[in-house]
Amino acid sequence: MTAYTATVTVRLKRGVLDPEAETTRNALERLGFELEGLRSADRFEVDLEADDAEAAAERATEMAERLLANPTIHDYEVEVAEA
Amino acid sequence: MTVAIIRFGGSNCDRDTLRALSHLGIDAEIVWHEDGLPEDPSGIVLPGGFSYGDYLRAGAMAARAPIMEDVRGAADDGTPILGICNGAQIGSEGGLTPGAFTTNRSARFQCEPVFLRVENADTPWTAAFDVGDVIEVPIAHGEGRFEIDADGLSTLQENDRILFRYCDADGEISEAANPNGSTDSVAGVLGTDAHVAVMMPHPERATLPDIGGTDGAPVLEGFR
């Protein structure tokens, strides 16, 4: 078994309104920054033990499917690295 | 035969719902989720509140509680189930109904009376109404914007699974009368069968005459 950290990034699908990101963007513009857009995402770093990176990714993907993301509104990606 | 109002950690409309149902003469009891469903409940309420602090997403944690397996089983067996506000989010997260409820267009918590138009009167929840009737009930949520993709919305429309839509006092649907930016102004939807419904507005807060209108009472009469 090897120690891995699986990073799961969950973001709204393109086209789904993100009012918190809009509010953040407005605040940045009020501070004088110029920007064309802003998107937010949630990142989960999961420490786990697995036989190999593929098994770690598989488990983290299942976590995303079953809890971390809501497939109706979210896309997600999983990256695995040795801890 | 008793309606089970499931209390999760952070539910806070469970007692309101009990009082509203009792006022209507409908037998109900509050059930702690870890104690499991009572045998053969006459109905199930997923009540409002802020279960588990809305961590991750509103309703996400409660929707994965073991009791929800039994709730889905009861749904398949024809037990009437109503999710209200946080209960709607739980029902949606738990797969009882399609779509998702997410952050209001305003990015703010909103507590205000709204008007709803009845879109389907052939359900236990709207049997007292006709399609197009307008009722006034409160909302109180920060994550009530109904989201569903275009295909999903078409399926809902084709199968007549939209229960209520936000409207103005005259029943007109408009963006101005859509308090949270919900897709197609949807305020409540049905599961695969009409006896399973979720809605963001609070019928139990519009049932006792002492606290304002009673427009929500006929919705709760769906448990009779």
Q: Is B149 on the interface with A (CB under 8 A)?
A: yes
Confirm whether B167 is a catalytic residue: no
**B214 has pLDDT over 90:** yes
- Measured between CA atoms, the residue of chain B closest to residue A74 is B100
* The pLDDT value given to residue B77: 97
* Count of domains for chain B: 1
Within 8 A of A76 by CB-CB distance, chain B residues are none
Mean pLDDT on A62-80: 97
- pLDDT level of residue A26 (50, 70, 90 thresholds): very high
pLDDT mean over A35-57: 97
- Report yes or no: B64 and B24 within 8 Å, Cβ to Cβ: no
**Strand, coil or helix: B32:** strand
For residue B15, how many other CB atoms are within 10 A of its CB? 14
Q: Which domain holds residue B212?
A: 3-223
* Single-letter residue type at B92: S
Query: Average model confidence (pLDDT) for chain A?
Result: 97
Which two structure tokens, joined as six digits, stand for B180? Answer: 């949270």
The reply to whether residue B107 touches residue A19, judged by beta carbons under 8 angstroms, is yes
Q: Between chains, do B60 and A20 touch, taking CB under 8 Å as contact?
A: no
* Domain CATH for B78: 3.40.50.880
Q: Which residue in B54, B56, B64, B69 has the most chain A C-beta atoms within 10 A of its own C-beta, making it the best mutation to test that interface?
A: B56
State mean pLDDT over B169-196.
Answer: 98
- Domain ranges, residue A23: 2-82
CA–CA gap between residue B162 and residue B119 (Å, rounded): 6
Q: What is the pLDDT of residue B43?
A: 98
Question: Touching check for A72 and chain B: CB below 8 Å?
Answer: yes
Q: Please answer yes or no on whether B93 and A70 come within 8 Å at the CB atom.
A: yes
Residue B142 has pLDDT above 90, yes or no: yes
State how far residue B104 is from chain A, nearest Cα, in angstroms: 7
Tell me whether residues B105 and A19 touch, CB distance under 8 A: yes
> How buried is residue B150: exposed, middle or buried, by Cβ count under 10 Å (0-12/13-18/19+)?
exposed
Res. B1: pLDDT tops 90:
no
As a whole-number percent, the residues of chain B with pLDDT over 70 amount to 100
Average pLDDT over residues B46-74: 97
Q: What percent of chain B has pLDDT over 90?
A: 99
Q: How confident is the model at residue B212 (pLDDT cuts 50, 70, 90)?
A: confident
ipTM of model:
0.90
Is the model more confident about A15 or about B172?
B172
What confidence score (pLDDT) does residue A34 get?
98
B11 touches chain A (CB under 8 A): no
CATH code, domain with A39: 3.30.1280.10
pLDDT per position as a tens digit, B73-118: 999 999 999 999 999 999 999 999 999 999 999 999 999 999 999 9
Q: Known catalytic residue: B13?
A: no
Predicted local distance difference test score (pLDDT) of residue B120? 98
Reading phi first (left if > 0) and then psi (alpha if -120 to 50, else beta), residue A6 is in beta
Evaluate if residue B215 carries a pLDDT over 90: yes
Structural domain total, chain A: 1
